[in-house]
């Protein structure tokens, strides 16, 4: 049996828009289930996302949901999602899409350790780091 570790993001009420954005960034298969589809009797949350999952062709999995009324949206102290590898074109493409409409705290550029690295916050407030490994000598 296998296991995996993947981020699960709690949004207040914009999980659908965020997950559709990430689907546009990473491609793959996006599934979304609403509270209404799950049988919630609360009409005010019927169209809100109970669970969304994006599985990409690169093997990434990202999950999210909206937070229904009366439930607290809790986080740890901080979390940043990190993408790394040596496929520079692909990672730069992700960076361009994730940082568009957000804010960049560290521009994606060559760093003292030799890799290209950048850090941004996307338009949904989620922090991302991208590290492109330097070519082998």
Q: What CATH number has the domain bearing residue 35?
A: 3.10.180.10
Report the pLDDT value the prediction gives residue 75, as an integer from 0 to 100.
60
What are the residue ranges in the chain where pLDDT is below 50?
Answer: none
pLDDT for position 118:
97
Q: What does the alpha-carbon distance between residue 68 and residue 65 come to, in Å, rounded to a whole number? A: 9
pLDDT of 76: 58
**Tell me, what DSSP letter sits at residue 22?**
H
Number of folded domains in the chain? 2
Please give the pLDDT value at position 44.
87
Q: What is the pLDDT of residues 32-45, one digit of tens each?
A: 999 999 888 888 88
DSSP secondary structure code for residue 6 in this structure: -
At residue 69, the pLDDT reads 76
Q: Is there a contact between 12 and 66 (Cβ–Cβ < 8 Å)?
A: yes
Task: Tell whether 62 and 12 lie within a shared domain.
Answer: yes
Pair 53, 87 in one domain: no
pLDDT at 71: 74
Residue 61 lies in domain: 8-66
């Amino acid at each position: 049996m296998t296991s995996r570790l993947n981020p699960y993001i709690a949004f207040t009420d914009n999980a659908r828009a965020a997950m559709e954005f990430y689907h546009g960034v990473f491609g793959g298969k996006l599934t979304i289930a609403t509270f209404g589809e799950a049988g919630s009797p609360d009409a005010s949350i019927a169209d809100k996302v109970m669970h969304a999952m994006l599985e990409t062709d690169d093997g990434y999995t990202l999950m999210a949901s909206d937070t229904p009324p009366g439930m607290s949206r809790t986080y740890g102290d901080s979390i940043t999602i990190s993408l790394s590898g040596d496929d520079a074109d692909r990672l730069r493409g992700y960076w361009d899409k994730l940082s568009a409409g957000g804010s960049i705290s560290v521009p994606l550029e060559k760093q003292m350790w030799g890799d290209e690295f950048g850090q941004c916050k996307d338009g949904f407030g989620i922090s991302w780091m991208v590290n492109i490994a330097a070519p082998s000598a």
